[in-house]
Amino acid sequence: MNMKPSLIAGLCMTVGVALGAAGCKTTPVATGSANTTQSARKLLEGKWTLVSMSVNSPDGKHATPPAAGDLDLDEFSNLKIEYRLTDEGRRLLEGVGMRSPNPTVSAAGRVAIDPQRHTVTYMPPDANTRALDADLAALRANPLAIEHLRYYTVASNGILTLTTKYENGKEATRSTWKRASP
């Protein structure tokens, strides 16, 4: 009788160890530098200068409006951004059916960074009180608006590219940025 309980206990331990080992083989374990919000924030943090900007209309027209710009993202995801369009840049935008109400577009607020999707979403200071606001929803639908979801990449040469997309997935805007000199 003493053998049966110890045999059952031994069998249970063997099965448990086998199941545990099988679980370890299928459970992903993070190694190296993790793709975390903190690492993405560090990658994007700093002062950037606009290199170029291009826009595509929904019907496929393309323009590269002359513009200047500055982007500053701090360690707490606070963003200051400014685009300065020339008069020619505004005319080029209008030529593809887009309109900038002002030659200078600027905003300051927080951003939400999603490192898995490589997206940055601008959150205006009053975003929580405007969660169901139709005007804010309309801004997010406009690919030129700061509030529109942006996809980011940082190339090995340090160039930051921000793109927006239309609902059909086609690229709407592309802006490239280089780190500003200290």
CATH code, domain carrying 45: 2.40.128
* Integer Cα distance of 95 and 120 in angstroms: 28
The residue among 57, 54, 51 whose CA lies nearest residue 65 is 54
Q: What type of residue is 82?
A: E
Indicate whether 169 belongs to any domain: yes
Indicate whether 2 belongs to any domain: no
Q: Are the beta carbons of 71 and 84 closer than 8 angstroms?
A: no
Indicate whether 21 belongs to any domain: no
Q: How many domains does the chain have?
A: 1
Q: Are the beta carbons of 172 and 62 closer than 8 angstroms?
A: no
Indicate whether 143 belongs to any domain: yes
Indicate whether 24 belongs to any domain: no
Alpha carbon separation from 69 to 29, 50, 82, 85 (Å, rounded): 41, 5, 5, 9
What was the pLDDT predicted at 6? Answer: 44
What was the pLDDT predicted at 87? Answer: 93
What was the pLDDT predicted at 166? Answer: 86
What was the pLDDT predicted at 117? Answer: 92
From first to last of its 182 residues, what are the pLDDT tens digits of the chain? 454 544 343 433 333 433 344 443 433 444 445 578 888 889 999 999 999 999 998 888 999 999 999 999 999 999 998 989 999 999 998 998 887 778 888 888 889 999 999 999 887 676 666 555 556 555 545 566 666 789 999 999 999 999 988 888 899 999 999 999 76
- Take residue 38 and report the two structure tokens written for it: 């903190």
What was the pLDDT predicted at 179? Answer: 95
- Which residue range forms the structural domain that includes residue 120? 37-179
* Integer Cα distance of 83 and 150 in angstroms: 15
What was the pLDDT predicted at 14? Answer: 38
Which residues contact residue 76 at a Cβ distance below 8 angstroms, ignoring those fewer than 6 apart? 110
Indicate whether 16 belongs to any domain: no
Indicate whether 9 belongs to any domain: no
What was the pLDDT predicted at 163? Answer: 94
